Amino acid sequence: MSGSINYISCGLLWIGLLVKLPGLIRNGSEPSLRAINAVLAFASLCFLLGAPSSVEVINRVSGVPNLAAPLTYASITAYSATLLILIACWRGGPSARRTTRSWLYGYAAVLLGIATLYILGDATEERRSDFDTYYATAPWISEMVVLYLVAHLTAVTVSAVWSLRWAFEAEVRRLPWLRASLLTIGAGTVISAGYSVSKLVAVIARWAGRDWAVLGTSIPPLCAGLGALLTVVGVLLPVAGHHLSAWRDFFRLAPLDAVLDPVLKERALRVERPRSPLLWGTWRWSTIHNGLLALETHFDERLYDEAFGAEFDRTGDWGSATSTAWAVTIAAAVRRSTRPVLRPAGAPTRLSHPRDAESLVRIADAVRKSERTVREPDTVAAQSV
């Protein structure tokens, strides 16, 4: 059963790695992308090397009875280090680079310690699933086991504390996908702690003369598998959230796109829609942005002020008034730009249209709420939209 859990967990991590690899290829110099891919790669390696059937193959091919054990422990240690580095990269700040170096040096020392202790110890009898508890009293080998377990427990504990504490900070509350990612990673690392805690308890029990080997072989794979699943979901949530938000914006921006369509067609500003649906949200946003740039000289500041005042008096909502005023002003500018009418003399407009997707979505919502904004833009302000 534990072997199946290992391979299923490994497969899930490979899926996550395949999703993230294109981003790494495009932006290989981005530290957080390198850290994410390293977390997924080392985590999958942990499960692959730790499966009993993999242990058998490694030991048989190498001719060393328990070589799979230090290799698995090394991959777990590397995973622990990259997880800490990932959280440090996400947090950023002036101390991020120093923190990253500290974790690298610390876990490099752990890797060296694992190799040294294994060489000094004597583990000639092959143990495929209960190596930790079987050799819990063996000189040097027991120290190696405790070293990697403590290193893993430290990493998941620190990662859980950082993730959960950061998720409840004020600035993160405004970023729902990042917050969901941090909460999921925090939950995953808390569960992953059960892997090292249960094994440590089984090892300590062996020191006390008790045989709790089942605790060290049954619970850890479950904790590691579920923890890995949640960690992968948490790491991929920002990517999924970005695409889902882009899709939502693609549909919600449709009314504003329709208003701008005459200008986009007349000036050949509408580029061909990308083949990939993942890019449609960005395509629509950039198309709308091109149309608004073409209309900037036609924005009527007086009309904007009148529409804003009318809507604010009606609702008392600054955001709604701003969106409605822009919807009115843009629709009027489209009509003005497609008619051979000169702009009235006077000071040039000081209006500059919103450029962020969230503001444009609110304007599109205002267009959707009132078809009159599209059909009768020049009279909407006077009729208190």
C-alpha to C-alpha distances, 263 to 32, 148, 318, 365, nearest whole angstrom: 41, 64, 29, 20
Residue labelled with tokens 């060296």: 112
Is there a contact between 333 and 325 (Cβ–Cβ < 8 Å)? no
Cα 278 from Cα 169, distance rounded (Å):
30
Amino acid (one-letter) located at 366: A
- Number of H helices and E strands in the chain, helices first, is 18, 0
> pTM to 2 decimals?
0.72
Helix (H) or strand (E) holding 95: none
Q: What is the mean pLDDT of residues 232-238?
A: 81
Q: What is the mean pLDDT of residues 2-29?
A: 78
pLDDT digits (tens, 9 = 90+) for 104-118: 999 999 999 999 999
> What pLDDT is attached to residue 1?
43
Cα 89 from Cα 82, distance rounded (Å):
10
> What pLDDT is attached to residue 112?
95
In the structure, what pLDDT confidence band is assigned to residue 206 with cuts at 50, 70 and 90? very high
> What pLDDT is attached to residue 205?
93
Helix%, strand%, coil% for the chain, nearest 5:
80, 0, 20
Cα 169 from Cα 171, distance rounded (Å):
6
Give the residue with greater pLDDT, 341 vs 139.
139
Q: Is the pLDDT of residue 141 over 90?
A: yes
Least confident of 39-43, 191-195, 344-348, 356-360: 344-348
Task: Report the 10 Å Cβ neighbour count for 375.
Answer: 10
Amino acid (one-letter) located at 226: L
Q: What is the mean pLDDT of residues 203-207?
A: 93
Give the residue with greater pLDDT, 41 vs 217.
41
Cα 335 from Cα 262, distance rounded (Å):
9
Least confident of 30-34, 221-225, 301-305, 369-373: 369-373
Most trustworthy range by pLDDT among 17-31, 132-146, 339-353: 132-146
Cα 353 from Cα 315, distance rounded (Å):
22
> What pLDDT is attached to residue 349?
57
Percent of the chain with pLDDT over 70: 92
> What pLDDT is attached to residue 271?
82
Q: What is the mean pLDDT of residues 338-344?
A: 56
Least confident of 1-10, 19-28, 30-39, 297-306: 1-10
> What pLDDT is attached to residue 375?
47
Tally of residues, the chain: 385
Token duo for residue 6: 């290992």
